Amino acid sequence: MRILLIHSSHFEYEVRDRAIEEAEPTSEKEGKDSIDEALVAFCSVESGDERDNDAVASNAAREISKVASTVKVKNIVVYPYAHLSSNLGSPSTAVPILRKLAELLVSEGYNVRRSPFGYYKSFKLECKGHPLSELSKTITAEKERRPAVLETRYAVLETDGRLIEPREYLQHPHPEFRFLVEKEALRRELPGGEPRYLEYCRKFGIEWEPYSDVGHMRYGPEGTLIFELITDYAWQKACELGLPLLQVRGTNMFDLSIPAVREHAALFGDRLYEVGVEEKQFVLRYAACHQQFSMVKDWTLSYRQLPFGTFELADSYRLEQSGELLLCFRVRKLHMPDLHIYCRDLEDAKKASMKVHEKIYSEIRKLGREYVSIYNTTRGFFEQNRDFFADLVKVEGKPVLLNFVPDGVFYWVLNVEYTIIDALDRPREIATFQIDIGNAERFGIAYIDHDGSRRFPPIIHTALIGTIERYLFSIFDCAAKAEDRGQKPSLPVWLSPIQARIVPVTMDQLRDANRIADELEKKDIRVDIDDREETVQKRVREAEISWIPYIIVLGQKEAGAGSFPVRVRARGTVETMTLDSLVAELREQTKDYPFTRSPFPRTLSTRPGYRKS
């Protein structure tokens, strides 16, 4: 709903002609009105408001009342005015909302007039013209609606299977798990501070896009390369689970008039990112579920093919609260390497979950980190599957936090949130998996079992390395932690946009530099040459600031020598290496990781100065 508020010294109107079929019946008396010293509220009810009439009306009443008390008026005119929105709601929605709005304002003690809906009316309006006399507002249903606080109970599950109270756990704390227990179960306030990774992000051109909605990111050339490498990596990791996987591709907006889409959306709650097109209302997908389910429902499945997975890197959209946004972490547009595994039954799902769990763990350990986990589940599922939980905890090697949720509220029976404790000691969820027992039926995904019966498969949802954004967050957080330990912050070599840079002392070495660059490129190494007319010192400094892992200085001395000095970022040393030993080291660092050729012009002198370091 949109409203335009005018503080007027005089307002009058008169009904002329009926504008629409569904016009409100009106008596002679209601046909015209005149009032002095009033707040006139021109209102347009928009499509989408019908989802919660009461919330829209009460939010509108609150906004209007706020302004009325600021400008100190007791008279309010609620005036239906279609021209504030290009996305109008239907008259059958609009009239009840406007009536309700007027009632609410009356109940707050205002003298309220309402002009009839659905007519052309002439009006005279005298606006006071002070700063607050003209205001427009957009009202949504979301604001006021505080979802009923869910009753959940926390417990710590020890590695030996004992359950203990979170409070007691703090007496013998695991260093990182402790932060999770404090934050999630005991609701301690976070320490805070400005995170250093934001500065790192900007170095690689990873930042907010100011020309879009809040919460949308953009990636410069370096960021784009990093993003693509992580995307390849996510698919590679999914394949390593050893299950048959099918990659699919689809769209990002789904029609809310489809029952399965609408029901799924209702489960998601109030963070739906919606878009109205012509007469239809679409929800932007918040994960790949919609696309994969709406496709797999059309497949013919036999128990012989299960379990198998579908995968898509899904651009996904969530209308997060503006105050909650955090670059690379909580964003309105995110990229989910979303894998769904369709299983025969719960036992099958538990087996597949173990594979997923082990893979998720081995990935974070490759970064030298540990997850601390929250297992959201129901008391019933936990009690019936204590062995399964024990197996999961064995992989963790430390306690986990259980969060018991009520039965029948969620579509899953188990939802694991894997969080890292970041450089500022805050838990940050990165990876996740869920065992879903509701959506196969909702979307009509079924397989034929060996006895010929039609069965709905439990579905595992997972992002093994987290969203691309959050994997990046982890990578940069590792750099921040390294810096805290007194090391140079850096990216893993496989993700470094440029892996080796050659700095010729004078331009006499350019030919040699190009020859070495050719050799390195042949070995799948991203290399460039800083051929700018700057001092060696300055070019080395800039390479360091750019986090280049290997910096080669080539001068007169190296001509024909067969070796050259290499500045190795990881060790903080300058070492004499041959081309072969450098290649061997680089290959060792990047083996088993995706590779993409350098998309940059080889010479820095020909590169636009987008870099901000």
Partner RNA sequence: GCCCCGGUAGCUCAGCCCGGUAGAGCGACGGCUUUGUAAGCCGUAAGUCCUGGGAUCGAAGCCCAGCCGGGGCUCCA
Which residue in 35, 82, 84, 198 binds RNA (CB under 7 A)? 198
Q: Which of 513, 469, 495, 517 is nearest to 596 (CA)?
A: 495
Nearest distance in Å: CB 469, RNA: 12
Please identify, using beta-carbon distances, which residue of 74 and 612 lies nearer to RNA. Answer: 612
Per rule CB under 7 A, is residue 320 in the interface with RNA?
yes
Which residue in 116, 195, 337, 549 binds RNA (CB under 7 A)? 195
CA 13 to CA 16: how far, in whole Å?
A: 9
Report how far apart, in Å, the C-alpha atoms of 584 and of each of 143, 524, 590 are: 58, 12, 10
Tokens of 103: 């009632």
Binding window for RNA (CB under 7 A); candidates: 109-117, 206-214, 291-299, 443-451: 206-214
Site for RNA in 135-164 (CB under 7 A): 135, 143, 147, 149-150
Q: Check: CB of residue 543 under 8 Å from CB of residue 502.
A: no
Nearest distance in Å: CB 134, RNA: 10
Site for RNA in 463-492 (CB under 7 A): 488
Nearest distance in Å: CB 285, RNA: 10
Q: What is the DSSP string of 510-564?
A: HHHHHHHHHHHHHTT--EEE--SSS-HHHHHHHHHHTT-SEEEEE-GGGTTTSEE
Site for RNA in 525-554 (CB under 7 A): 533-538, 540-541, 544-545, 551, 553-554
Nearest distance in Å: CB 253, RNA: 16
Nearest distance in Å: CB 543, RNA: 8
Please identify, using beta-carbon distances, which residue of 123 and 600 lies nearer to RNA. Answer: 600
Nearest distance in Å: CB 503, RNA: 7
Please identify, using beta-carbon distances, which residue of 103 and 320 lies nearer to RNA. Answer: 320
**Other CB atoms closer than 10 Å to residue 376's CB: what's the count?**
19
Laid out side by side, the sheet with 454-455 consists of: 301-302, 447-448, 454-455
Site for RNA in 562-591 (CB under 7 A): 564-565, 567, 574
Q: What is the DSSP string of 94-155?
A: HHHHHHHHHHHHHHTT-EEEEPPSSEEEEEEEEE--SGGGEEEEE--STTT--PPPP--EEE
Residue 523 identity (one-letter amino acid)? K
Binding window for RNA (CB under 7 A); candidates: 26-34, 155-163, 187-195, 378-386: 187-195
Give the chain's end-to-end CA distance (angstroms, integer).
Answer: 45
CA 495 to CA 510: how far, in whole Å?
A: 27
Per rule CB under 7 A, is residue 515 in the interface with RNA?
no
Which residue in 25, 109, 323, 486 binds RNA (CB under 7 A)? 323
Please identify, using beta-carbon distances, which residue of 221 and 555 lies nearer to RNA. Answer: 555
Please identify, using beta-carbon distances, which residue of 22 and 209 lies nearer to RNA. Answer: 209
Please identify, using beta-carbon distances, which residue of 444 and 565 lies nearer to RNA. Answer: 565
Which residue in 28, 160, 168, 189 binds RNA (CB under 7 A)? 189
Nearest distance in Å: CB 425, RNA: 9
Per rule CB under 7 A, is residue 557 in the interface with RNA?
yes
Please identify, using beta-carbon distances, which residue of 234 and 289 lies nearer to RNA. Answer: 289
Residue 405 exposure: Cα atoms within 13 Å on the Cβ side:
15
Q: Which residue has the tokens 């020309």?
A: 211
CA 334 to CA 230: how far, in whole Å?
A: 14
Q: Check: CB of residue 352 under 8 Å from CB of residue 341.
A: yes
Q: Check: CB of residue 460 under 8 Å from CB of residue 435.
A: yes
Laid out side by side, the sheet with 500-504 consists of: 527-529, 500-504, 550-554, 563-568, 573-578
Please identify, using beta-carbon distances, which residue of 366 and 612 lies nearer to RNA. Answer: 612
Provide the mask over 167-186, with x wherever binding to RNA is found by CB under 7 A and - wherever it is not: --------------------
How big is the chain, counted in residues?
613
Binding window for RNA (CB under 7 A); candidates: 155-163, 297-305, 318-326, 448-456: 318-326
Please identify, using beta-carbon distances, which residue of 49 and 558 lies nearer to RNA. Answer: 558
Nearest distance in Å: CB 78, RNA: 21
Site for RNA in 245-274 (CB under 7 A): 267-269, 271
Beta-ladder partners of 79: 42
- Burial level of 17, CB count in 10 A (0-12/13-18/19+)? exposed
Please identify, using beta-carbon distances, which residue of 20 and 190 lies nearer to RNA. Answer: 190
Please identify, using beta-carbon distances, which residue of 171 and 556 lies nearer to RNA. Answer: 556
What's phi and psi for 159, nearest 5 deg? -65, -25
Site for RNA in 328-387 (CB under 7 A): 330
Please identify, using beta-carbon distances, which residue of 229 and 479 lies nearer to RNA. Answer: 479
Binding window for RNA (CB under 7 A); candidates: 14-22, 100-108, 208-216, 383-391: 208-216
Site for RNA in 400-459 (CB under 7 A): 410-411, 415, 417, 424, 426, 429
Which residue in 163, 246, 277, 507 binds RNA (CB under 7 A)? 507
Nearest distance in Å: CB 204, RNA: 14
Site for RNA in 270-299 (CB under 7 A): 271, 286-287, 289
Tokens of 202: 């900007």
Binding footprint of RNA, residue count (CB under 7 A) = 71
CA 339 to CA 464: how far, in whole Å?
A: 8
Q: Which residue has the tokens 């903080």?
A: 572
What's phi and psi for 367, nearest 5 deg? -90, 5
Q: Kindly provide the b/e burial profile for residues 384-417, where b requires at least 16 CB atoms within 10 angstroms of the residue's own CB.
A: ebeebbeebbeebeebbbbbbbeeeebbbbbbbb
CA 282 to CA 295: how far, in whole Å?
A: 18
Residue 215 identity (one-letter amino acid)? G
Please identify, using beta-carbon distances, which residue of 350 and 539 lies nearer to RNA. Answer: 539
Please identify, using beta-carbon distances, which residue of 13 and 564 lies nearer to RNA. Answer: 564
